[in-house]
Structure 1
Amino acid sequence: MTKLTLTKSRYRTILSQIPHYSHIGTGDLEVKKISIASLYSCCRTVKAAKLQRVSALIEGYRRFDLEPFEPCKLESGGRPLTLIPPIVEEQPDGSFVIIDGMHRIYQLATQTDAQQAVCLVLKNVGSLPSIPIPFQQVRASPSKLPRVDNFPDYNHQNFRDIKTIDRNLAATS
């Protein structure tokens, strides 16, 4: 695991794969530490089965003396991967809503004494896919819930297909 420096232009290229982010300029994004206590979530639960893998990732950050979750390169299953910080959208009222990286932030908050996490903060994105809840209300679930059950007042038109980023990063790592 090695620290990776990505330019705002590179982040913009990565994010532009998602229709909701295609209009974002480099002035609308910033990598910075965010207080975990100040975060909100679009979903009510995280999948318990994913948390063990996330624990290994958090241990990797500690072992390689990196800030959770600054961008890095790592190898998984014999393949090089690029890992970007959790994506958080700053709302007009100044609140921060986690869009991607819930499992990482949840595990960091519940299994360590960390008070902050490095996040990729986006501004001027638009409507959220659901009504945000305080991060402290998120719970682990033994199974994946349907979106309409997991996201309060879910609106599919506003859902961000973050897996598009994963596919793009895997192809360019």
Structure 2
Amino acid sequence: MSLNKYKKMTSEEFKSLTEEEFNEYIKLKKEDLPRHHRKIEEITIEIVSTPEEAIEIAKKYHQEHELDGTVNVQIESLFFDEAYTFKVDLENRENDDIRPAWRVTVDLPPNPFLFEDYTIIVSDRDKAVMGMLDPNGHPVSEGNEFTDEDIEYIMSDEDLEDDEK
């Protein structure tokens, strides 16, 4: 049994799972999660890029794009994802672009406005940076900037408690 069975379900179908089906789903999820956060000694597939190459690729990208923070060069801090989803095909999930990738952490100095760190995703096969993840693990995409209205709202003196009354 695989998780693909559950990927094609609508949210209503998912909500109507029996307790047995839901427990099966949870079991499969727990078995699948380690594939996405393997330490180097846990990798079960043949890799194309070495850990050192992944770090160098991330450092070069980090420098070229003048990003904040410092690329963590400790190999022990690397994670390997045997099935990273680079692109989702909503019309046919069988066509999702899923392949191995290195997760290279970038450490940020303490700052009240910035989070702890973020991650640079290096495709193992392509030996290239294919994206970044924010501190919460969400993909960072271009065009993710605040609008003028967002900044105006954030900088305003309005108290959220006043809005709730």
TM-score by length of 2: 0.29
Pair member with larger Rg: 2
TM-score by length of 1: 0.28
